[in-house]
Every structure is written in C-alpha cells, then in structure tokens.
A and B are shown apart, each in its own frame.
Chain A
C-alpha cells in the first residue's frame, strides 16, 4: 500500500471542523469517490474533528491519499493529547456521551468507514484512524 501524498492540519475550533470537512471533501473528490462515499467520509471526519476539539482539547488530523493494487483510498488519522478515553468499549456505544451530545460520533464514524482503529490511553490522548476505499 502506497501513500501518494499526505498533509497534517490543526483542529482547535469549530471553524476548524468546517475546514476539515472542506479539505476532506477535496481529497475525496481527487480520489474519485462517488458523491455518497464523499458525503460519508466527510461526515465521519466532521464527527471525529468535533471529538478532537471537544474531548481532546484540540489536536491534528493527518490526511493520506492511498493506493493499494490500483484501488484509491483516503485515510484520516485524528490525534489529540487530551485526557483520553477511560473505557473505549463504552465510548463506542451509540448513545454514550460524556459531553452532552447524541453519542453517535465514534460509532457513527466507524459505520461510515471501511476501516476503523481507536487507541487511547487515559491521561495521554486519543488516536482514531479511519479509511474509506473507492
């Protein structure tokens, strides 16, 4: 699997969440995604970017354009150095929220992606990676 190009962006404010939606849309279009697939990964990115600001106190997203056996993909890696997630199993459940939201962020982002990885350590931060293939 080859990474064709990559870029890292800061996520600190609610304006940055909008900026993430726009840049992910651009990259999804460039990868040749259908409109539905573009919408899915942009929506997943929006959820995860919000988690990064709300729970992680800000962080970064790394965008990676992928090529695997002539199949194009887009990987997004969200990282923060916030308090981390004490119980990742519970955090994945729909309806669980520690910030008064709907609690659809992590589970929703997973359903909207082809691959999903979550790693978190209490007190150290959280890393969520999602990939969508064309």
Chain B
C-alpha cells in the first residue's frame, strides 16, 4: 500500500509530503504518525508541505488532527514550508488551522520545536509517568 515515509531524527519525526495526496493516503499518514509518536515517544513532529501546491479543507483538517493528537501524546507539531499562494487560498477558504504551529522552513521549524521543549522543561515539563 502507498504510504508517506516518516523519518526519525532524535526525538523528532520528520514528514516531507512530496506527492499530491488523495484522501485515503492523508488518513493513512494521520494514523501512521500517531502510532509512530507513541511508539518512539517523539516530542516533536515536523511536517514539510513545501511541495504541496494545494491544501484544501481535507488536508487542512488532517494537519489539525495530527497536531491535536500529537498534543495529547505530549508532542509538538510544526508545519513548515507553506507556499504563499496556498496561504492566501487558505485564508479565503476560512481555514485557520487552529492549534497548528507554522514556520518558514525546516530549520526554523526544528528551532521552534527545541524552543518549545526547552520552555516546557524549564516550566511545567512532562510529568513522570
């Protein structure tokens, strides 16, 4: 079955979406990522959408769901590389991606995840299991 690859980098997971996903493929990615976050006890999830020419309400909902599920599993999600034309269209579509953090590129996304994790460790960090 067709799948979007998920790479593990330390305590983060990296997904680069390179293809125009059909709806079932997007749902599979959502399920795979949630499973991998739990399996690897990942603290950060980086989703690179710089190759995506279109983000419609279905893909938008998938990104929101991933961020929400990651949050419940104590991981931070950052979506990076959104194209300007996609951003303009999302606003007109009234899709606000609630709870989804964004950064311009992978480097800035990783920095944002690190920053968030540092902040959590300093403040109210992960409570002991």
- Give A residues with C-beta under 8 Å from B: 13-15, 17-18, 21-22, 25, 35-36, 38-40, 42-43, 46-47, 50, 94, 101-102, 104-105, 107-108, 111-112
- Cα A42 to Cα B20 with chains together (Å): 12
- Give B residues with C-beta under 8 Å from A: 20-24, 53-58, 60-61, 83-86, 88-89, 92-95
Minimum-distance CB pairs A-B, first 5: A14-B23, A39-B85, A108-B93, A46-B56, A14-B22
- Cα A101 to Cα B59 with chains together (Å): 11
- Cα A39 to Cα B94 with chains together (Å): 15
Cβ contact within 8 Å between A111 and B93:
yes
Q: Which of A13, A17, A42 is close to B53, meaning CB atoms less than 8 Å apart?
A: A42
16 sampled A-B residue pairs with Cβ under 8 A? A22-B20, A36-B88, A36-B89, A38-B85, A39-B88, A40-B92, A42-B53, A43-B54, A47-B57, A102-B57, A105-B57, A108-B92, A108-B93, A111-B93, A112-B89, A112-B92
Given that A43-B93, A107-B94 are contacting pairs, would A50 and B54 also be in contact in the complex, using a CB cutoff of 8 Å?
no
